[in-house]
Structure 1
Amino acid sequence: MKLIIVAVGTRMPGWVDEAFSDYAKRMPADCAIELREVKPEARTTGKTPAQMEALEAKRIDAVMPQGGRWLALDERGRDLTTVELSRQFQTWRDDGRDVGLIIGGPDGLDAALKARCDGLIRLSSLTLPHGMVRVLLAEQLYRAWSILNNHPYHRA
């Protein structure tokens, strides 16, 4: 199983890339984390947020794993504890398919794209910067793995 984080946005600050890479490299090869960045639609074109989301959705579709499980990060998604995420992680591993986790752009994600997803999850009730979401998601995936493998990283 591969964990593919698809994130709308490019050119993150150095600290984001460094922190994300740190957690991604900790994961074992059988559940590697891969980042696929998607170019955001320019916000100066006069398009509506819905039009921009639809264009970004096409770019997301182009890089998502075919035949994989798709999950969108959304403010109205399922709120999981870390232990619940680790249980989900185990379900994903047992299933064997790649998992695509989608982080939307400034306006969020296209409604039709979210409807095609296997589920919606949220990391926080707070509004977080997109770069921070990448880091937090990678850290929580690593923590979920550490719980399942009795690794000392997670201390309950």
Structure 2
Amino acid sequence: MARSMGHVTVAAVGRLRESHWQAAQEAYRGRLEHYTTFKLVEVKDAGGSSGAALAREGAALLAAVPRGARLILMSPDGRHMSSPELATFLQGQLETYGHLAFLIGGPSGFDPATAAAAHDRLALSRLTLPHELARVVLLEQLYRAFTILHGEPYHK
């Protein structure tokens, strides 16, 4: 798969405040940029679990991703995949749609309108993960998927 094959955007609610999460995020961002045009966008946490707060976060997420991108909601009720299955999924989606946008909600999740706008849903784990860790795990798994597609040894 050539680097120019597609674009990947990760849009997430909130900023990573701890330096160790920031360092991990930046490490994977740099690695992903070797394989795809990659963009990470953080939108403001609306500070609550009310319907209005979730709607503001959802609207900001949707506004932050390029028009026409294939929207993939990261959700505990999404499809579970192995790393090789994610690699196959990623390749197929990039070949078909060209631009993927992975949406990560805040600690309270997504409002119904944002969830309805998504084209697909994926889960990272059946376990409950802290929001910051979930973001880093997604970035790591995207990187792992690209190494699998390129036949590189990272994933072994």
Give the alignment's TM-score, normalised by structure 1.
0.90
Q: Which runs of 5+ in 2 are unaligned?
A: 1-5
**Contact 2:13 2:104 (C-alpha < 8 Å) held by counterparts:** yes
Whether 1:74 and 2:75 are equivalent positions in the alignment is yes
User: Match of 2:128, as an amino acid?
Assistant: T
2:58 aligns with: 57
Aligned-residue CA RMSD (Å): 1.5
Aligned to 1:95: 96
Q: Corresponding residue for 1:40?
A: 45
Match in the other structure for 1:25: 30
TM-score normalised by L of structure 2: 0.90
- In the other structure, the counterpart of 1:83 is 84
Q: List 4+ stretches of structure 1 deviating above 3 A.
A: none
State the identity as a percent. 33
Is the CA contact 2:7–2:94 (under 8 Å) kept in the aligned structure 1?
A: no
Secondary structure at the aligned position of 1:153 is classed as helix
Letter in 2 for 1:139: E
The answer to whether the Cα contact below 8 Å between 2:94 and 2:100 also exists between their aligned partners in 1 is: no
Q: Provide the rounded CA distance (Å) in 2 between the counterparts of 1:124 and 1:30.
A: 25
Structure 1 pair 30/146, CA: closer, same or farther in 2 (3 Å)? closer
Contact residue 35 and residue 146 of structure 2 kept, 8 A: no
Contact 2:16/2:132 (<8 A) preserved: no
The structural deviation recorded for 1:49 is 2.2
CA distance in 2, matches of 1:54, 1:31: 30
Could you tell me how far apart the structure 2 residues matched to 1:29 and 1:39 are?
A: 28
